[in-house]
């Protein structure tokens, strides 16, 4: 069982990485083409509408997460009837969600121009453009998206990733042709709709072939329905807070600072999002395995695993943070030029936001795997409220930096300690002080190593490609060598080293 969990997680990560590479590389090329051919205001529109529709996605309110979690037990027990009833309920709810998003989105059409400060491209109908984004969001719920839950719950999200890679490559090539040859942003957005429809249809056919025994039929008993309703209720609070905190940033920047600023800020956020996508892939791939481990293993065993995963996460997130500090500005200089760059102080704040966001992920992953959403249901709402208040106050005083500082304050002082306390109090039943002590040690080491690495990188002059490659080499070698020297004798490192050795030996034998 343990080997099967590891195998599924590894497979999900491998194919997920392939999909993320395609999903990052092609949009990066497309984003560059949009900047060069159309201008940064188009990127601002893209970021703004994506943020608005992310808020509209609150109508899902975490129902998908609750349904996938509810499938873990019946799948483990091979309870076909309950899985079919869950799938039936899932389909009904998702269809209602799709229609709801479309209806609410259309009602917002008259107000679109009021959340754009300053000018916007005059050669494009912003209302029709917004409508296309709206259709792309709602159609996913209306076309078989519920079936993907079966693959995720069976720890076969690698199949979803394979389909995503194939569809994204084809559509991205078409998008490049549309942008370069026709210079049409509208056709580019329409092609995104085609991508969504194609992906959902292929995944639906794949699920039907792989799990022909599962069909939308039957009704859940009252007890199971009440449990799901409670989970959805808790997740509703979670999703409202989390989504509003992240999505309102672009909306506030657009309303106060204009579309061009949204586009420039979006370029920086795109880099963070690309790295986060890779790391989130790992968290998502291990969630089902952790959920299974929580059911079959002891709390002490899971606590030891938690500490090991925290160590691995700190190493990876710390290294990524150091790379961002050292490489962000040189990369942006090569990519978009000095006229579309932010101040270095903003870069430091963005890296701090990135670090705080991802260093919490192991706690969040264990909470999600255990279905622990009700216990801190008000946390995201409180965090969101604090974030929103500081956003409105600070954005007019210090601009973009105020938006980032607001998020950091809400995450560091409200959300992080709250969710950590809930996990340790309700599941591990231990004090979280040792966990915090380790995080402080990890963070201090990362900051010191980061300062040294930045100093060495600053000795490399210029902003050219050769200079950038030289700095990459510095960032790969110095932090990881120092981390290795410091942690070589630790229990956590020995665990990681032993696991890597076992995987290599198994691969050679295979």
Q: What percent of the chain has pLDDT over 70?
A: 85
Determine the average pLDDT of the residues in 136-142: 84
Write out pLDDT tens, residues 417-436. 999 999 999 888 899 999 99
CA–CA separation, 416 and 410 (whole Å): 9
pLDDT tens readout for residues 223-233 = 777 777 766 66
**At residue 240, does pLDDT exceed 70?**
no
pLDDT of residue 119: 66
Is the pLDDT reported for residue 59 higher than 50? Answer: no
User: Residue 501: is its pLDDT beyond 70?
Assistant: no
How high is the pLDDT of residue 2? 47
What is the token pair recorded at 194? 């085609």
For 119: left if phi > 0, alpha if psi spans -120 to 50, otherwise beta; the answer is beta
- Contacts of residue 198, Cβ cutoff 8 Å, sequence gap at least 6: 167, 171
Rounded Cα–Cα distance for residues 10 and 311 (Å): 19
Q: Which residue has the higher pLDDT, 43 or 326?
A: 326
Both tokens assigned to 45 = 């529109």
Please give the model's pTM, rounded to 2 decimal places: 0.74
- Whether residue 57 has pLDDT greater than 70: no
Q: What is the 3-state secondary structure (H, E, C) of 193-251?
A: HHHHHHHHHHHHHHHHHHCCCCCCCCCCCHHHHHHHHHHHHHHHHHHHHHHHHHHHHHH
| Model pLDDT, residue 405 | 93
What local confidence, expressed as pLDDT, does residue 73 receive? Answer: 76
Q: Give the per-residue pLDDT at 15.
A: 67
Closest C-alpha among 67, 74, 71 to residue 89? 67
pLDDT in tens, 340-355: 888 999 999 999 999 9
Task: Round to whole Å and give the CA distance between 482 and 136.
Answer: 46
More confident residue, 87 or 255: 87
**How far apart are alpha carbons 341 and 347 in whole angstroms?**
10
Among the ranges given (13-22, 181-190, 353-362), the one the predictor scored with the smallest mean pLDDT:
13-22
pLDDT tens for 292-337 read 778 778 888 889 889 888 998 999 999 999 999 999 999 999 888 8
CA distance 263 to 48: 9
**Is 138 within 8 Å of 98 (Cβ atoms)?**
yes
What is the mean pLDDT of the segment spanning 168-193?
88
> In percent, how much of the chain has pLDDT > 90?
23
């Amino acid at each position: 069982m343990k080997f099967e969990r590891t195998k599924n997680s590894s497979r999900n990560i491998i194919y997920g990485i392939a999909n993320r590479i395609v999903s990052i590389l092609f949009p990066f090329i497309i984003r560059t083409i949009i900047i060069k051919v159309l201008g940064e205001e188009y990127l601002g529109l893209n970021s703004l509408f994506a943020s608005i529709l992310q808020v509209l996605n609150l109508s899902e309110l975490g129902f998908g997460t609750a349904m996938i979690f509810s499938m873990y037990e019946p799948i483990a027990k091979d309870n076909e009837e309950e899985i079919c009833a869950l799938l039936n309920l899932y389909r009904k709810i998702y269809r209602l969600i799709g229609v709801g998003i479309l209806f609410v989105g259309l009602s917002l059409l008259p107000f679109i121009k009021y959340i754009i400060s300053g000018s916007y491209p005059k050669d494009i109908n912003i209302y029709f453009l917004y409508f296309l984004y709206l259709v792309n969001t709602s159609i996913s719920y209306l076309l078989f998206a519920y079936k993907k839950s079966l693959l995720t719950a069976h720890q076969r999200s690698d199949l979803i990733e394979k389909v995503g890679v194939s569809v994204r490559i084809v559509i991205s090539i078409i998008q490049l042709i549309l942008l370069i040859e026709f210079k049409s942003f509208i056709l580019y957005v329409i092609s995104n709709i085609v991508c969504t429809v194609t992906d959902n249809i292929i995944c639906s056919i794949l699920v039907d072939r792989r799990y022909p025994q599962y069909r939308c039929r039957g009704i859940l008993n009252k007890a199971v329905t009440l449990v799901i309703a409670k989970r959805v209720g808790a997740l509703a609070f979670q999703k409202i807070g989390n989504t509003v905190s992240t999505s309102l940033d672009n909306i506030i920047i657009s309303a106060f600072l204009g579309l061009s600023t949204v586009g420039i800020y979006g370029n920086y956020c795109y880099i963070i999002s690309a790295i986060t996508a890779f790391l989130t892939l790992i968290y998502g791939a291990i969630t089902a395995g952790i959920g299974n481990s929580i059911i079959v293993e002891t709390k002490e065993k899971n606590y030891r695993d938690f500490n090991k995963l925290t160590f691995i996460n700190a190493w990876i997130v710390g290294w990524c943070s150091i790379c961002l500090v050292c490489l962000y500005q040189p990369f942006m200089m090569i990519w978009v030029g000095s006229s579309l760059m932010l101040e270095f102080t903003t870069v430091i704040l963005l890296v701090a936001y990135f670090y705080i966001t991802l260093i919490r992920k192991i706690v969040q992953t264990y909470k999600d795997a255990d279905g622990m959403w009700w216990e801190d249901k008000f946390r995201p709402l409180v965090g969101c409220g604090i974030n929103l208040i500081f956003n409105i106050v600070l954005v007019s005083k210090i601009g973009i930096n105020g938006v980032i500082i607001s998020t950091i304050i809400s995450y560091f002082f409200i959300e992080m300690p709250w969710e950590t306390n809930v996990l340790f109090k309700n599941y591990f039943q231990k004090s979280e002080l040792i966990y915090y002590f380790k995080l402080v040690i990890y963070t201090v080491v990362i900051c010191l190593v980061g300062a040294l690495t930045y100093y060495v990188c600053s000795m490399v002059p210029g902003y050219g490609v050769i200079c950038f490659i030289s700095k990459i080499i510095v960032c790969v070698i110095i932090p990881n060598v120092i981390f290795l020297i410091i942690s070589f004798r630790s229990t956590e490192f020995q665990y990681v080293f032993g696991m890597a050795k076992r995987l290599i030996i198994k691969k050679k034998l295979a």
